[in-house]
Amino acid sequence: MTRCTVISNNARSDPRAKIASLPAALLRLPGPAGDLVKRIQNYIDGRFVAGDREFADVNPADGTVIAQVMEANEVQVDEAVHSARCALRREWGRLGVRERATRLHRVADAIEKRFDCFVQAEIADTGKPISLASKLDVPRAAANFRVFADLVKMAGLESFQTETPDGAKALNYAVRKPLGVVGVVTPWNLPLLLLTWKVAPALACGNAVVVKPSEETPATATLLAEAMQDAGIPKGVYNVVHGFGPGSAGEFLTRHPDVDAVTFTGESRTGAAIMKAVAPTVKPVSFELGGKNAAVVFSDCDFAEAVNGIGEAVFLNTGQVCLCAERVYVDRKIFNAFVDALKEKAENLNSGWPSDAKTNLGPLISAQHREKVLSYYQLAREEGATAVTGGGVPKFGDDRDNGFYVQPTIYIGLTESARCVKEEIFGPVCHIAPFDSEEQAVAMANDTKYGLAASIWTTNLKRGHRVAQQMNVGITWVNCWFLRDLRTPFGGAGLSGIGREGGMHSLNFYSELNNICIRL
């Protein structure tokens, strides 16, 4: 296994840094004398640098502090933006597409070389099961670089032979240019996957980036800097600034006048704040925001397939995936059987330690997020729900009791106007409601201000197409969920986002097209 040196390891014997989990050598900065805690640094202009304040990186599985994170101040965010601007004027700005693509493949190689480090860092930060981090998060990070490296080499552009009514002839063709410096702000639920989903196409298009990972999950963005160095990505092309949103690195970056575009994944109301921040300088934005996604189960579904699929859609990553189904609508004819089957599925989940291969349900990300999810469990009771299973906090009798676990939970009996049916909870929880007709199911699924994803479960081919096409969302799955092809459009309607990424949509967002008209 490659040793990762980005998070310094003067902490091996620190009982607080109980982290077989955080790669042994993650940080480079020795702490002040006698201070044994690992430090996660910023990465600016090709160097790992401290900040002038620190905050704790907490392991959600047991509440222990695993590292201190160096918060970037406003001057450092400015330095990061400046260094990105300078990188565009040096080697990176002159590289041809083929060479850029080669370097991005090397980034993917460097991630794969450090596979175990990335997995350990991701599970330490998020508490997610090792099975998930090693099957989804880290492989997808490498795939993001490979897919956009290949795509940018293959991508064609429009051209038109023009003839005007007065007989002029011309050739029009477009060329793709980078936007410049792109600010990338990302959340904590799939930290590396979502960060690389934006960084890879941004670099493929020739931009330089300043990323602000979530304050909850700073480790893998920092490790990625080491992979970038390894892959020969020049200094200044990839910068990492750590910190929070308002009054911290997130705000400093998004309102920076020399940032040319902002790409953001996170909560809808954070998207609204970022829109205000970018308004004075009219920056392009790409927003992937929250969801309150529906799953619609028809009586002609493959029952076992639907139960398994919706089990994933509700509980994967402890329900902390923007695409998760929190509203499940089931044909009344199979309602009771479906509720019983999903209950059994929920009760068979294994809330173990993240590093245990058998664990398939981790903790929530933080004490604060657990408070939020539990407040919805309480609200559901007040709104008159019946808990089919769960609704509380598990008891383990070991250190996990200091972590942020909640029980996987299923409610029935709420009205469609209940807040628990309308608001995104972002935990391992769903509400199941019966429907009596296809029209009613479609209306219920669409009765939301969000519009990210839906899944339809039916073996009737015509119905599958018919219902899928009526969903007011950006992504509809039929008889599957979170099955991804990275070339397809990805994004949301309504409160769920602005714009689409994926395939050519990403290339179009991360580049500026210059149309050239030549008189013939």
Show the site string, 465-504: x = touches ligand 6OH by CB under 6 A, - = not: -------------------x-----x--------------
Nearer to ligand 6OH, 180 or 489 (CB): 489
Interface region with ligand NAD, contact rule CB under 6 A, candidates 89-97, 179-187, 397-405, 455-463: 179-187
Residue nearest to ligand NAD (CB): 245
Exactly one of 216, 288, 383, 501 is catalytic; name it: 288
Nearest to 75 by CA among 228, 202, 243, 199: 243
Alpha carbons 59 and 293: distance in angstroms, whole number: 28
The correct pick among 100, 212, 242, 327 for binding ligand NAD (CB under 6 A) is: 212
CA distances from 92 to 78, 81, 146 (A): 20, 15, 18
Task: Respond yes or no: is residue 322 known to be catalytic.
Answer: yes
Nearer to ligand 6OH, 285 or 322 (CB): 322
Alpha carbons 401 and 382: distance in angstroms, whole number: 26
Beta partners for residue 161, in sequence order: 171
189 touches ligand 6OH by CB under 6 A: yes
Nearer to ligand NAD, 11 or 325 (CB): 325
DSSP structure string for 252-295: HHHT-TT--EEEEES-HHHHHHHHHHHGGGT--EEEE----EEE
Neighbours of 111 (CB within 10 A): 28
Nearer to ligand NAD, 62 or 501 (CB): 501
Nearer to ligand NAD, 139 or 234 (CB): 139
Element (H, E) at 32: none
Exactly one of 205, 301, 322, 430 is catalytic; name it: 322
254 touches ligand NAD by CB under 6 A: yes
DSSP structure string for 50-88: --SEEEEEE-TTT--EEEEEEE--HHHHHHHHHHHHHHH
CB of 326 to ligand NAD, least distance (A): 10
244 touches ligand NAD by CB under 6 A: yes
148 touches ligand 6OH by CB under 6 A: no
Element (H, E) at 398: none
Measure the CA angle with vertex 66, ends 61 and 67; round to 5°.
150
321 touches ligand 6OH by CB under 6 A: yes
DSSP structure string for 460-504: -HHHHHHHHHH--SSEEEES-SS---TTS-B--SGGGEES-BSHH
- In this structure, are residues 290 and 493 in contact, taking their beta carbons and an 8 Å threshold? no
Nearer to ligand NAD, 60 or 266 (CB): 266
**Residue ranges that bind ligand NAD, judged by CB under 6 A:** 185-189, 194, 212, 214-215, 244-246, 250-251, 254, 265-267, 270, 273-274, 288-291, 322, 424, 426, 452, 492, 496-497
**Residue ranges that bind ligand 6OH, judged by CB under 6 A:** 189-190, 194, 197, 321-323, 484, 490
Q: Which residues are catalytic?
A: 288, 322
